[in-house]
Structure 1
C-alpha cells in the first residue's frame, strides 16, 4: 500500500535538466575582448576629433587673398627689371593703333609717397597708407616724349582699396589738374629737364584686387612749358585734337602704365 507522498512523487514529472552554464572565459580572452572594445571606442573618438578639427579650423587663404598679400611685399624681393622692364613694346598703343616702344632711362630710389605726388593728391590717397612708391622714367623711340610710371603700394586691406577707388571715381580725381603725379628726371638723360612745369598728360588707376595705385605722367623731352594739361582719358578720345592728343602723350601715359601694371601682376603670380 502506497502512501500519499509516494503517489505525488509518482504522478509529478521530474524537473527539467537545464544545460550547465558555460565556464568563465580565461583571463587572456577577457583581456582581448576588452582591448577590442577600447580600440573601437578609440577610433570613434579620433574620427570625431578629426571631424571637429575640420569644422573649427580657420579656413585656408584663397588665391585672391594670397595674391593681395604678395602684392604688398613684392617690391622687397623682385628684381627691378621684372617690375620696370628695360624696354617696353606695345604693338597698337599709339594714336590710330600705331606701334609704340619705350626705353627705360632710370629708376628712382624707392621711398615714401610724398615726393612723387602733388600735395593734394598725396592727401587724397593717404587714407590707404603708403608702404612704398616705386618709379621709373621712360623715353619713346624718338626721344621726343618722356614718361614717369609710378607703382604706389598701399598699406590697407581690400575693403580699404575699394573705398579708395570709390572716392577717386566719385571725385574724378584722375582728371583734376591740381592733383597730379610728379615726374622723376634721371640726371644725364633726355628726361633731365622733365619737371612739374613740363607735365602735359597723366593717368591714374586704383586697383582693389591688389594694394596698388598705378599712375603715369608724361611730357615733351625738350623741356618746353605751357602745354595745356589734359588727362589721358580725354587725350585718347578719337576726336581729341589738342597738342597733347596729337603728340600721343595720352596714349603714352595710358599704355605704358598698363604695361608696367601687367609686369607687376605677372610677378605676383610667380
Structure 2
C-alpha cells in the first residue's frame, strides 16, 4: 500500500503542506468575501461561508492524520479518503459559491472578463454535466481497473496528482449539477437529474465489480477490497443524495437571466454608468 509520509525524524511535510494549503484556501475565501461586501451592499450568506469552511475541514480531514496514514496502509482508508476528497469536500466547497464570491470582489472590468471566459464555448463544454461525469466516474475506472493505482504507490507526485484530479473533477461535477454559481449552458433540472442517476449507477457498478474482484488491477487483500467496495457503494450513495438535495435547494428557474447579479454592488453601479442607453 501507499507510504508517502514524511518519515525519518525530519519535518513532516506530508502534514505541513496539506494543512498550509487548506488554511490558505480558507483564508483566501474569507478575504474575498470581505472584499466583496466591504462596500455596504448585500451581505454574503453565512450559510455559504459555513459550507465552504466545512469543505475545507473535510479536505483537511482527508489529507491529515488519522485518515491519511490509514489510507497509506489500508485500501479501505484510501476509499474513505477518496470519498472525502472527491465527493463530500467538493460539494461543500461548491455550495459556498466561490465563483460568485470572486466576481463580487473583483473590479468591474476584471469581473466582466472572467464572466466572458465562463460563458465561452470551451467553458461550456468543460462545465457540462456529462463531461464532469466522465471525468469523475471515468477517472475511478481508470484508477482502479488499470495499473494506475499501483503506480501511484511508487510515485508520490502521481499520487498527489490523482488527489488533485478527484478534487477538481468532484468540484466540477457538483458545480455542473447543483452549484449556486451560474454555469455556462447548464441543462435543465431533469437532464441534470438524469446525469446524477448515471453517476449513481456508475458508482454501483464499479463498487460491485470491486467487491467481486472482477477486472480490478491492484495489490490489496480481499478483505480490504470488499470493505472499500462497501464504503464506495454506501458512502457514494449518501454523497449523491446530498447532491440531489442541493440541486433541489439551489434551483432557481430564472438563474440564467441574472448575469448582472454576479457582480458586486460597486461593480454593478459602474456597469450601469458605463453602459450606453
Short-chain TM bin? under 0.3
Per the normalisation by structure 1, the TM-score is 0.27
Higher relative contact order (CA 8 A, sep 6+): 2
Per the normalisation by structure 2, the TM-score is 0.27
Q: Select the structure of larger CA radius of gyration.
A: 1
The structure richer in helix per residue is 2
The structure richer in strand per residue is 1
